[in-house]
Amino acid sequence: MNTIKINILVNSLSFAALLIVAITGVVLWVFLPGSQGAGHSSLWGLDRHIWKDWHNWSGVVFIVLMLTHLILHRSWIKAMPQYLCKSKNNQ
């Protein structure tokens, strides 16, 4: 698999994981607030613990994918400080 396809795959999976984290976070915050709120203990047949598991594990997947993204772009990351310093000196 070439680099472009790997980047597309990593970026797409990262976006999907981020969406899951965001959606489950809103569900946990608004609809299943826990012991401090007087809400329901389940939503769509899934209890708060399952929502929290999805939230936590998709967060872990997102972090791993972001680290992979940074590794894939390490040459760009290394080059940027030199580019920025060079641009600053030319002004």
**Amino acid letter, 69:** H
What pTM, to 2 d.p., does this model score?
A: 0.80
Query: How high is the pLDDT of residue 12?
Result: 98
pLDDT tens-digit profile, the chain (91 residues): 899 999 999 999 999 999 999 999 999 898 877 765 555 576 777 788 898 999 999 999 999 999 999 999 999 999 998 888 886 677 6
Q: What is the DSSP string of 9-44?
A: HHHHHHHHHHHHHHHHHHIIIII---TTS---SEET
What ranges do the domains of the chain cover? 3-90
Euclidean distance between CA atoms 5 and 25, whole angstroms: 30
Per-residue pLDDT tens digits for 63-88: 999 999 999 999 999 999 888 888 66
Whole-angstrom Cα distance, residue 83 to residue 91? 13
**Biggest CA pair distance of the chain:** 62
Average pLDDT, whole number, for the chain? 88
